[in-house]
């Protein structure tokens, strides 16, 4: 499972975007430097770090930075 600090580090280090804990609640439209390509890059980087796969469509359903974090922070479902 990825921690909030891990997620913020990925955004800062891999995407080179400023992000603080308080920014997690912001809508992407409020984040001046965020573009849709950043969402895709974030998705790829987090997937590489965690090995967890989330459907890409879910990525674009989320409107906040926390929403993206929550997609990857949720425990993986156990297989049947």
**In this predicted model, what pLDDT tens digit does every residue of 36-50 receive, in sequence order?**
787 888 888 888 888
Residue 79: band (very low, low, confident or very high) from pLDDT cuts 50, 70, 90: low
Q: Sketch the domain layout of the chain as residue ranges.
A: 4-73
Domain 4-73, what architecture? Orthogonal Bundle (1.10)
Per-residue pLDDT averaged across 24-35, rounded?
72
* pLDDT surpasses 80 at 76: no
* pLDDT surpasses 50 at 78: no
The torsion angle over the Cα atoms of residues 67, 11, 76 and 74, rounded to 10 degrees, is -40
Quickly tell me which residue has 């600090």 as its tokens: 5
Q: Within 13 A of 38's CA, how many CA atoms are on the CB side?
A: 19
* pLDDT surpasses 50 at 71: yes
């Amino acid at each position: 499972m990825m921690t909030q600090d891990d997620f913020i580090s990925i955004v800062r280090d891999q995407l080179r975007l400023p992000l603080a804990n308080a920014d997690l609640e912001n809508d992407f439209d409020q984040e001046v430097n965020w573009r849709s390509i950043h969402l895709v890059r974030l998705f790829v980087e987090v997937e590489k770090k965690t090995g967890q796969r989330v459907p890409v469509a879910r990525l674009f359903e989320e409107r906040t930075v926390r929403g993206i974090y929550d997609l990857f922070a949720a425990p993986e479902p156990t297989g049947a």
